[in-house]
Structure 1
Amino acid sequence: MPTPEPARPVLIKVDRAGVNFADVHRRQGIYIADTPLPYVLGSEVVGRRVDTGERVLAVAPSGGGYAEYALAPESTTFTVPDGIDDGSALALAVQGNTAWHILHTSARLQRGESVAVLAAAGGLGTLAIQLARHAGAGRIIAVASTPAKREFAMKLGAHAAVDSSDVEHLTEALIEANGGERLDVVLEMAGSDSARAALEALAVFGRLVVFGFASGRTATLDTRDVLLRNRSVIGFVLPRIYPVPGMLAHSMGELWDAARSGAIVPHVGGEYPLSQARRAHDDIQGRRTIGKLVLDPAR
Structure 2
Amino acid sequence: MRAAEIRETGRPPAVAERDAPVPGDGEVLVDVLAAPITPLDLLCATGISYFGKPATPYVPGVQGVGTSGGRTVWFPTAAGMAPGDGSMAEVAAIPEAALVELPDGADPVLVAALGLSAVAAHMALTWRGGLTAGEQVIVLGAGGVVGQAAVQLARTAGARRIIAGARSPAARERAGRAGADAVVALDTGDVAELARRFADASEGPADLVLDPLFGVPAAAAARTLRPGGRLVNLGGSAGETSPIDSATLRGKSLRVLGFTNNELTAEQRAEAITFVAGQAAAGRLAVAHETVPLEDAATAWLRQGEGKAEGRIVLTPRPAG
Q: TM-score, normalised by structure 1?
A: 0.85
Distance 1:182 1:155, change over 3 A: same
Distance 1:45 1:4, change over 3 A: same
Instruction: Indicate the SS of the match to 2:155.
Output: helix
- Letter of the aligned partner of 1:189 in structure 2? P
CA–CA distance in structure 2, aligned partners of residues 86 and 111 of structure 1: 30
Q: Show the counterpart of 2:34.
A: 16
- Of residues 219-228 and 99-108 in structure 1, the stretch that sits farther from structure 2 once superposed is 219-228
Q: Show the counterpart of 1:57.
A: 74
> How far did 1:177 drift?
1.1
| Alpha carbons 1:14, 1:45 under 8 Å: kept | yes
> How far did 1:268 drift?
4.3
Q: TM-score, normalised by structure 2?
A: 0.80
Q: Show the counterpart of 2:274.
A: 253
Which of 22, 37, 42 pairs up with 2:61? 42
CA–CA distance in structure 1, aligned partners of residues 205 and 52 of structure 2: 37
Q: Give the fraction of aligned pairs with identical amino acids, expressed as a percent.
A: 31
| Alpha carbons 1:60, 1:71 under 8 Å: kept | no
Counterpart check, 1:194 vs 2:212: no
Which of 118, 124, 128 pairs up with 1:102? 124
Unaligned stretches of 5+ residues in structure 1 = none
CA–CA distance in structure 1, aligned partners of residues 34 and 254 of structure 2: 41
Q: 1:102-251 counterparts in 2 under 5 A? A: 102-168=124-190, 169-179=193-203, 181-215=204-238, 217-220=239-242, 224=246, 225-241=248-264, 244=265, 246-251=267-272
CA–CA distance in structure 2, aligned partners of residues 287 and 232 of structure 1: 32
CA–CA distance in structure 2, aligned partners of residues 197 and 73 of structure 1: 44
- Tell me which structure has the larger Cα radius of gyration: 2
- Of residues 22-31 and 77-86 in structure 1, the stretch that sits farther from structure 2 once superposed is 22-31
> How far did 1:183 drift?
2.1
Distance 1:145 1:286, change over 3 A: farther
| Alpha carbons 1:143, 1:164 under 8 Å: kept | yes
CA–CA distance in structure 2, aligned partners of residues 276 and 214 of structure 1: 27
How many corresponding residue pairs? 292
> How far did 1:53 drift?
4.0
> How far did 1:27 drift?
2.7
Distance 1:214 1:41, change over 3 A: farther
Instruction: Indicate the SS of the match to 1:101.
Output: helix
Distance 1:282 1:183, change over 3 A: farther
> How far did 1:289 drift?
3.9
Distance 1:23 1:213, change over 3 A: farther
> How far did 1:178 drift?
0.8
CA–CA distance in structure 1, aligned partners of residues 167 and 245 of structure 2: 29
> How far did 1:269 drift?
2.0
| Alpha carbons 2:133, 2:159 under 8 Å: kept | yes
Instruction: Indicate the SS of the match to 1:167.
Output: coil
Q: Show the counterpart of 1:74.
A: 96
- Letter of the aligned partner of 2:40 in structure 1? A
Deviation string, structure 1 residues 189-217 (Cα, Å, up to 9, x no partner): 224333333333332222221112235x4
> How far did 1:31 drift?
4.4
